[in-house]
């Protein structure tokens, strides 16, 4: 972990826990999407899902 | 493909409309799901880490990626396929 990342984590700016292991069961979730509609991981059973965590809406990179 | 951040729906709606994303943006305002996926450690964290997961049809994790440096990550993924 780089120094910048350690500093961001210390300041609670950007969280960094441990990546989950390949082969582990993906934790279930139910969250509103950008339209307010509810989305559950189980809605995608039988399909491959890419779950992309991004820091903040409308920021570069 | 699902995007996920700590933003409220109105902020993510503006983001989605600005770039016409062909996927949905999820609003983990409590941070609980980011914590479950290791992308945050605390509800006090302001932003999640840039982690990307590929979840297979059986609900198990096929790929777990720290995408802080996307270019090198893309090359790594392509090299494995």
Do B54 and B43 lie in one domain? The reply is no
pLDDT tens profile B34-65: 999 999 999 999 999 999 999 999 999 999 99
Give B2's strand partners: A51, B24
Residues of chain B contacting residue A51, judged by C-beta atoms under 8 Å apart: 2, 4, 37, 52-55
Please check whether residues B41 and B70 belong to one and the same domain: no
B58 and B36 fall within a common domain = no
- How much is the ipTM here? 0.85
Q: Assess whether B14 and B30 both reside in one domain.
A: yes
Under DSSP, the state recorded for A25 is B
Taking an 8 Å cut-off on Cβ atoms, the answer to whether A36 and B9 are in contact is yes
Please give the backbone phi and psi of residue A36, each rounded to the nearest 5 degrees, phi first: 95, -5
Clarify whether residues B54 and B41 are in a common domain. no
- State whether B1 and B38 are in the same domain: yes
Number of structural domains found in chain B? 2
Ramachandran region, residue B42 (left: φ > 0; alpha: ψ -120 to 50; beta: rest)? beta
To the nearest whole Å, the CA of B70 is away from the closest chain A CA by 9
pLDDT of residue B72: 59
Same domain, B44 and B13: yes
CB distance B39 to A51 below 8 Å = no
* Global confidence as pTM: 0.84
Structural domain that includes position B33: 1-48
Say whether residue B81 is in contact with chain A using an 8 A CB cutoff. no
Residues B60 and B78 in one domain: yes
Say yes or no: B42 and B55 in one domain. Answer: no
């Amino acid at each position: 972990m780089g120094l910048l990342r350690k500093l961001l984590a210390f300041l609670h700016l950007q969280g960094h826990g441990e990546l989950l292991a390949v082969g582990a069961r993906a934790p279930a979730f139910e969250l509103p999407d950008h339209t307010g509609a509810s989305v559950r991981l189980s809605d995608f059973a039988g399909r491959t899902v890419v779950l992309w965590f991004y820091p903040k809406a409308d920021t570069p990179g | 493909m699902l995007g996920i951040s700590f933003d409220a729906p109105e902020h993510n709606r503006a983001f989605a409309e600005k770039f016409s994303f062909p996927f949905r943006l999820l609003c983990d305002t409590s941070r609980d799901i980011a914590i479950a996926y290791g992308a945050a450690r605390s509800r006090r964290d302001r932003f999640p880490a840039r982690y990307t997961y590929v979840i297979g049809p059986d609900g198990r994790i096929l790929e777990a990626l720290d995408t802080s440096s996307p270019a090198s990550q893309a090359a790594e993924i392509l090299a494995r396929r």
